[in-house]
Amino acid sequence: MRSLAVIAALFVASLVAGCGLLPDTKDETVGWSANKLYAEAKDALNDGSYTKAIKYFEKLEARYPYGRYAQQAQIDIAYAYWKDLEPASAIAACDRFIKLHPNNPNVDYVYYLRGLINFNEDLGLLGSISNQDMTERDPKGARESFDSFKELVTRFPDSKYTPDALLRMKYLVNALAQLELHVARYYMKRGAYLAAANRAQFAIINYPDTPSSEEALFIMVKAYDALGLNDLRDDAERVMRKNYPNSEYYVRGLNRPEPWWKLW
C-alpha cells in the first residue's frame, strides 16, 4: 500500500511539473473589437514590429472576415510580410487580394506593392554588402516585377503609383538587357561566338533603344568576324557605324569601365 501511495504521489507530482512546462495559451486579444485589433496591428506595423502586426492582422481577418477592416488588413499584411523579409508570403498575399477583390479602389496599390516586392527581392542584406553585379543575378524577380508594374500602368494609367512604376520599368528593361550582354560576354571569353552573337541579337530585338544596344552590336560584329561570317559581320558593323559613329568600343573593345550599376 505504501509503495502504491508513493507511486501515486510521484505521478501527481509529474503532472503538476508537466503543466508548468506547457506554454501559456492566454490570448491577449480575446474580446477585442475589430477597431481595436486593427489599431493595434497598425501601431505594431508603424513601430516595425512586423511579426506582431502580422499576428494581429491574421486574427482580425479570421474573426471579422466581412467587416470594414478585413480588406484593408489583407493589404496591410502583404506589406508587413514584405517588411518582415518574407517576400514569398507577401506576394502570395498580394495575389490573393487581387483575385478576391479585383475592383477594390486600392487594388492599384497592391499591383504596385507586388512589383516592389519582386523589384527589391535581390537587393536584400547579402546583395547590398556584396559586389555582385545586379545583372548577374537570376532575372526571374526582375521579369515578374516588370510584369506587375506593366499591369499597373496598363490597367490604371491615372494611378498615383504609375509614374514611379514607369521609371522602375525603364530601369528593369535596362537591367535585363545588361544581363543578356553579361551572358554574351561570357560566351565571347570562352570562344562560343555563335552563342554570343545570338544572345546579343536577342538583347537588341527584345530590349531596343536601351544603352545596351551599342555593346550588343559590337559583340555581334566581333563574334561574326571570329566565325568568318563576313556578310553578317558587315551588316552588323554597318548598323553600328550608322547609329554609333563615335562609339568608344572601336577604341577599347570589350574591356569594360566601372559597372553602370555601381552608384557609390
Summarised one tens digit per residue, pLDDT across range 88-120 is 999 999 999 999 999 999 999 999 999 999 987
- Tell me the HSE value of 219 on the side-chain side, using a 13 A CA sphere: 33
Q: Which residue has the cell 499576428?
A: 55
| Spans of the chain below 50 pLDDT | 6, 16, 20-24, 123-131, 134-135, 258-264
Question: What per-residue confidence (pLDDT) applies to 138?
Answer: 66
First to last CA, the chain: 83
Give the distance, in angstroms, between the CA of residue 137 and the centroid of all CA atoms in the same chain: 12
Q: What is the pTM of this model?
A: 0.73
pLDDT, residue 14, reads: 56
Q: Which H/E stretch holds residue 35?
A: helix 34-46
pLDDT computed for residue 38 by the predictor: 94
Given this model, what pLDDT does residue 122 score?
52
Task: Please report the pLDDT score of residue 255 as a whole number.
Answer: 62
pLDDT in the model for residue 105 = 93
